[in-house]
Structures are given as C-alpha cells and as structure tokens.
Amino acid sequence: MHIGNLLKIAFKALGNNKLRAFLTMLGIIIGVASVITMLAIGQGSKRSIQAEISEMGSNMIMVHPGGDMRGGVRLEADDMESLTLADLEAIRTETRYVSYVSPSVNSAGQAVYGARNTPTTVYGVSADYLDIRRYRVADGDFFTEQDIRAAAKVCVVGRTVVDELFPDGGSPVGRIVRFGTIPLRIVGVLESKGYNSMGMDQDDLILAPYTTVQKRVLAITHLQEITCSALSEGYTDRAIGEITALLRRNHKLREGQDDDFTIHSQQELSNMLTSTSDMMSVLLAAVAGISLLVGGIGIMNIMYVSVTERTREIGLRMSIGARGRDILAQFLIESVLISVAGGLLGVLAGVGASLAVRALASYPIYIQPWSVLLSFAVCTFTGVFFGWYPAQKAARLDPIEAIRYE
C-alpha cells in the first residue's frame, strides 16, 4: 500500500482515539523532554567548569621537586631541593612547546598593615606568572626585572588582601605591608578573579619577586615549583615530554632511574572534573532514558490493545487483499507516528524546560544539538521497536478467525 494511504489510515486511527493517543504520547514526551533537559543541565555545568578552569589557565603545567611519592620512602632532603634556577633557564630557552615559565616559592603567614592583619600566602614569582595564571594588574604596576635582580621589598596584592587590610577603600599602592617581619611596598593590585571551581579564593595572595621570597622570607636557593604554560591546552602533553627530558638530562638521571621531580598539569584536573560531570550527565541521561523506555512500553501496550480491538478490521482488510506486510506497515506507522509526534512535542517541552531552568534557577544550561537529534532518533526507534511486536501479531492473524472475532 502507498505510504500516503498508510499515513492517512494511521492519522484516522489516532484521531478516533485522540485522548488515548495523547496519553500514550505523554510517556514519550516526558521521556524525550527529560533526556534533553538532563543533558542540557549536565552539559551546562560541564561547560561552566571548563570555562572556570580555562580562567585559571587550562594550559598550566606545574613542576615540583621530588619524585612521585607513591613508594613513600624516598623523601630525602636532597630530593626535595632538586629544582634550581638552572632548570628554569633550561626550560625557558630550550623548549618549543612552553610559552611562559616562572619560578615559584611560597610561604604562608600573616600580612599586617597598621592594626589590621590577615592570614595569606606570599608567592615569589616572575612576570610570566601573570600570563600563566591569567592574572591582570588592575591598579599600579607589576614589579620589574630590576626588582627581581635586586630582591627588592615590593609586592603586588590580591583583592581579598586589600579588602582585609584597607577596608576604607582607598588605593593601597605605595603603602607598605609587613609579611612576617619583612616590609613590602605595594606596587600594584591584581584584578579580582573570584573563587575557582574548587572553592579556592584566587584573590587571597601576595605576589613578590621570587628572589625576595627566597632570600628574605624562606632563606633558600632552590625552587619549590616551576610553573609553566604550554603553547595551548592541546600542547600540554608534548610540553610535559620536553620538560621531563630536559630535567632528566640536567639532573643527570640515568636510564631506569626514577624522576626526581613531579609534573602536574591543569589538564589532568580539568579531565578529572569534567569526567565527574560527564558521569553525572550519563547518570541523568540514563534515568531519563528509562522514562523513554517506559514511554515505549506504553506504546507497545496501547498498540496491543489497538490490534485486539481492531481484529475484525484486520480480518476484513486481509480478506479484501491486504498482505501481511501491508498490515504490519499500517500498525508500525501508527506507533511510529505516536512516537515521532511525542518526540517533537518532547523536544519542544525539553527545550522549554531547559530555558525555564536557566531563567528561573539561573543554572548554566547548554542544549546540545546532538542530544536533541539523538533523543529524537531514539524515540523514532522506540516507535519501531515497541510497535513491531503488536504489528507483527496483527500481520500474522488468520483472516478467517480475525473476521469472525467478536
């Protein structure tokens, strides 16, 4: 039979039972809508995490002294002092995939201004640190190369420190804070970055020349960390490879000997966080998928009812020349029509619900085009799959018995 005629028959059959058709559709509508909404919420939170991480510098690479401590035994003092300025220089000059590199030494302590004080951390770094961590100076300037060479007692402070020490709101540039016993003149204030996705206040810090922190605060000559950035996030692995090779050569490590340093990257963290949110997405989608399954079972159920109710009609159609496949197609198209119509309404409801979540709960949502396509495809498949058995049952009826069915 012609597809146009089949569609006409299906529309008519559904039209004869509008409420029932709608209630059957409702299962699919809810299923599709919830798949789309759940994926939109999952993807939205994943994207906002990714955006925050790239704010922190998604291409950041951190080199620490000391090997991977999984063995738990090698914690000699030597080991923890393995990173030197020579390593830093080598990384700066001999790598291709590293764009910025800064030493990092830090010390936690109290920052004091007049009668006020606040616990914070001072980081000894170089100018590259701003580019690596994506900080900007909002007020004043960053300290200079000259300041680094001279181990000058200068610093740049984060917003939180400013707010704690200078609650009156005036510019702190030019004032002198004490960190422990060391007086540091403020030359600049960092633009606020707020909290990161792990809840850390990124504005609670003081930046000072690394030489100053090494000599005047910690009295050390080694580095606690070398912070670098790869050319871009995609080059992270290659940059790590380069740095590893370089440091092993500089540290004269023989083949088979363990690294005396450890490299972490922001990418690892990013992967960890997004894989958590991916798992959330999968779980949410699975729950939503189950409701789609339930919707499909609803279709199957109602199609069985429909086949039984219309046994006489099936018998008649067969006796006037319908073949098994004509009957199969008729009922299959009916169930696909239910699921596709339900799918369309479900897409509308899902997109609507997602937008409502964004508007009302100001939750980050992102509707992925593929999730719409996928759920639509799945529900068409649902229609075929769950419509198949009832349609098959109809097609296999014996016309003689069917036409006498009461």
Partner 1 sequence: MDEVIRLEHIRRDFVVGEETVHALRGVSFAIRRGEFVTVMGTSGSGKSTLLNILGCLDTPTAGEYWLDGVAVRTMGKDARATLRNRKIGFVFQNYNLLPKTTAIENVELPLMYNPSCGVAERRERAVAALRAVGLGDRLLHKSNQMSGGQMQRVAIARALVNNPAVILADEATGNLDTRTSFEVLDLFQRLHAGGRTIIFVTHNPEIAQYSSRNITLRDGRVIADTSNPAPLDAAATLAQIPSASPEDAPPT
**C-beta separation of 65 from 220 below 8 A:** no
The verdict on 307 binding partner 1 (CB under 8 A) reads no
Q: Is the Cβ of residue 6 or residue 165 nearer to partner 1 in the bound state?
A: 6
The verdict on 403 binding partner 1 (CB under 8 A) reads yes
User: Token pair 């949410």 is at which residue?
Assistant: 284
Query: Quick one: which of 67, 289, 364, 399 contacts partner 1 (CB under 8 A)?
Result: 399
Q: Is the Cβ of residue 282 or residue 403 nearer to partner 1 in the bound state?
A: 403
Nearest distance in Å: CB 358, partner 1: 45
Nearest distance in Å: CB 299, partner 1: 22
**C-beta separation of 331 from 391 below 8 A:** yes
Q: What is the CB neighbour count within 10 angstroms for residue 164?
A: 17
Query: Quick one: which of 213, 299, 318, 372 contacts partner 1 (CB under 8 A)?
Result: 318
Write out the DSSP string of 73-141: ----HHHHT---HHHHHHHHHH-SSEEEEEEEEEEEEEEEETTEEEEEEEEEE-THHHHHHT--EEEE-
74: CB partners within 8 A, 6+ apart: 66, 67, 258
Query: Among residue numbers 326 through 345, which ones bind partner 1 (CB under 8 A)?
Result: 326
- Rounded Cα distance, 334 and 236, in Å: 54
Q: Is the Cβ of residue 263 or residue 318 nearer to partner 1 in the bound state?
A: 318
Nearest distance in Å: CB 1, partner 1: 6
Nearest distance in Å: CB 360, partner 1: 44
Question: Exposed/middle/buried for 131, CB within 10 Å: 0-12, 13-18, 19+?
Answer: middle
Q: How many residues bind partner 1, per CB under 8 A?
A: 22
Query: Quick one: which of 132, 228, 239, 322 contacts partner 1 (CB under 8 A)?
Result: 322
Query: Among residue numbers 15 through 74, which ones bind partner 1 (CB under 8 A)?
Result: 16
The verdict on 312 binding partner 1 (CB under 8 A) reads yes
Nearest distance in Å: CB 326, partner 1: 6
β pairing state of 206-209 and 116-125: parallel
Query: Among residue numbers 121 through 140, which ones bind partner 1 (CB under 8 A)?
Result: none
CA atoms within 13 A on the CB side of 397: 30
The verdict on 308 binding partner 1 (CB under 8 A) reads no
Query: Quick one: which of 18, 320, 360, 362 contacts partner 1 (CB under 8 A)?
Result: 320
The verdict on 325 binding partner 1 (CB under 8 A) reads yes
Query: Quick one: which of 18, 321, 362, 369 contacts partner 1 (CB under 8 A)?
Result: 321
Amino acid at the residue 299? I
- The three-point CA angle 23-25-26 to 5° equals 65
- Rounded Cα distance, 142 and 156, in Å: 6
* Binding-site ranges for partner 1 (CB under 8 A): 1-2, 5, 12, 16, 312-313, 315-326, 399-400, 403
